[in-house]
Structure formats: structure tokens, C-alpha cells
Amino acid sequence: MTAHLLCVDDLGPDGVEAVLKLTDSMVEVGRRDIPKVPALRGRTVVSLFYEDSTRTRLSFETAAKRLSADTMSFSVSTSAVKKGESLRDTVLTIEAMGIDALVVRHASSGVPWQLAAWLAGSGVSVVNAGDGWHEHPTQALLDAYTIRNEHKAGSLEGLRVGIVGDVKHSRVARSNVFCFAMLGASVTLVAPPTLLPASLDGWPCDVAHDLDEVVGELDVCYLLRLQQERMTEALVPSLREYAFSYGLDLARAQRLPAGALVMHPGPINRGVEIAPEVADLPCAVITRQVANGVAVRMAVLFHLLTAPADGEVRLDG
């Protein structure tokens, strides 16, 4: 059966562990003078991005290249989509060229599942790089990896993680809640009621509405961008007021426990969810998240596209 990565649940605890362990080897590859291994030579990885992206797209492409895969990049603005080609026809056209993995980002929730169904039997692995407000599994994996490596606890077990801000429109929040809880963290969503999903049934987390009440107990303060492009109505009174109540300013950051981390998936809006000076503190590991993103995506592509019978990872030769 073809392996896909559509949501964190697809991997399960053992799969998450396997990818995080593999990531260590990929970080080591990244430190070499020539950070490239032949693991996916002859394989083709296509990125199909129907939504804007800087870090996720570049990071998947860099990951594929470091594993020596051939890469193709599909840009909606310069494609036949502009001539009215449907998503299904586009995908089947790309598949006909002989590819191994399709990394997809789309504004509609569920598109990666639809692609996996259309591609059934083709041997093409689908990787979800963000679908609507739904899931963003590789972001969750790179965040979990970053916490393990940057927090002195060395593990998520027992850590208190606050995910602060626009949870309602965030695929990162959903994937992170499930991934962090799976790894033993206790997660609290911190947001005004207008920025929470209508139902949190089945989400393994607590909710708080007052950041000042919880900030002193957070081992990780994970900030989200206000996703204004996804809002159809005014959900916060003003950006200034939002920053005042939910932004991580220096005074709040100083109340975090010793050793706490400040994280953000990017792109950051300095002065809104995070004060400019906080984004540059040593405890803010935002650029390390980006660096780990390449290694995690190498691990994901390797995990999906190679299945060594003995479970051994060979990255030389």
C-alpha cells in the first residue's frame, strides 16, 4: 500500500517516533560539507502549491534535493489552471509524467485526501503541506522535534504548552494539539472565544481566555498569526487591542518560567502576536524551527519513499 502523510494521526505514536529519530540523521546530513545523500536518487518529488508559501515550499524542495530526488514545482499562477484545468485533471497530468511523491497545499480542507483517492494504485505518495484550516502535519513534526531539542527536558512528556491566538483558522494549531498530546504534553489553547473553533470536541487540550493567567506556567508559548486572509468578519476589536490582550510582549515573556521556549510557525507579524524585541530573544527558537523543517521533511520523504526491510537507515554511498 502506498504510504501517505495526510495528518499526524496517520503516523501514530510509533510513526512519529520513527520520523523524529530519522530527523536526527537528517540534521547530521545537513551539517556535512556537502549536505546531500543519494537516498532518493531517481525519484521525483512534485510540489503542488495552490496557496502562497515561503518556508514550507522551499523547505520541502530543499529536503527533496538534499536526498538527491528530482524536483518539479507547480505554480498555479503560471499553469494551465489559469486555462480552466480542474484539480483532478491537473493531478492526473502530473502523475502521468511518472512521479513518486506529491506535496500539496490547498486552501480547501480535505484536498490531500481527495488526491490520495484519485491516485490510488498509482504508487504516488501524497504529503499534506497544509489544507485549509484543517491540518499541517509536517509543521507539527518539526515543532515537536524543536521542543525536544531546545527544551532542557529533552522530551514533551509533562511539558505545558500554550498555543496562543487565532486557533480557529489555524491548521497548525490542530496538528500541533494532536501531535504534542500524543507525545505527552499538556496543551492549553489561549484565545478569545471568537478565535476558537465552534467545537473542540475530541481535541485533547484545555482552553484559557486570559494569557496573563497562564503565561507564568508555560514551558512553551506557541504563538499563532492572526489569519486575516481567512477571516470573513471582524473577530477582534482592533489589532492594537488584540496585541494588548494576547500579544507576547516583553513583560509577559519575562514571566515565562526559566528555560521556556517561544515558538511561532511563521510568518510572524511583529507588534501583533509577538513584540519585535521578543522575537529576537534567545528563547525564541523561530529560526531553529525553520532549520529543523528541512530535516523533518527529509525524514518524512525518506520514511514514505523508502521502506528498508531491516529498518536500517543508510545515508552513505
Is 207:188 a contact under the CB 8 Å cutoff? yes
Taking CB under 6 A as the criterion, which residues in 124-143 touch ligand NCD? 130, 136, 139
Active site residue 314: no
Active site residue 43: no
C-alpha 126/C-alpha 112 separation (Å) is: 7
- Measure the N-to-C terminal CA separation of the chain; round to a whole number of Å: 28
C-alpha 50/C-alpha 39 separation (Å) is: 28
Catalytic: which of 2, 55, 230, 288?
Answer: 55
The residue from 253, 265, 275, 286 that contacts ligand NCD (CB under 6 A) is: 265
Nearest approach in angstroms of CB 263 to ligand NCD is: 11
Taking CB under 6 A as the criterion, which residues in 19-58 touch ligand NCD? 55-56
In the complex, which residue's CB is closest to ligand NCD?
225
Sign of CA dihedral 142, 159, 219, 134: positive
User: Please, which residue, 39 or 179, has the CB nearer to ligand NCD?
Assistant: 179
User: Please, which residue, 231 or 313, has the CB nearer to ligand NCD?
Assistant: 231
C-alpha 79/C-alpha 85 separation (Å) is: 9
Contact status: 225 vs ligand NCD (CB under 6 A): yes
Closest CA to 302 of 130, 81, 64: 64
Q: Which amino acid is at 54?
A: T
Query: Coil, strand or helix: which one is 127?
Result: strand
User: Please, which residue, 119 or 161, has the CB nearer to ligand NCD?
Assistant: 161
Provide the 8-state DSSP code for 168. Answer: T
Active site residue 82: no
Contact status: 266 vs ligand NCD (CB under 6 A): yes
Is 204:177 a contact under the CB 8 Å cutoff? yes
User: Please, which residue, 215 or 226, has the CB nearer to ligand NCD?
Assistant: 226
Catalytic: which of 66, 106, 134, 136?
Answer: 136
Active site residue 31: no
Cell numbers standing for residue 2: 502506498
Nearest approach in angstroms of CB 105 to ligand NCD is: 8
Provide the 8-state DSSP code for 135. Answer: B
Q: Which residues bind ligand NCD (CB under 6 A)?
A: 55-56, 130, 136, 139, 171-172, 225, 227, 265-266
Residues known to be catalytic: 55-56, 83, 105, 136
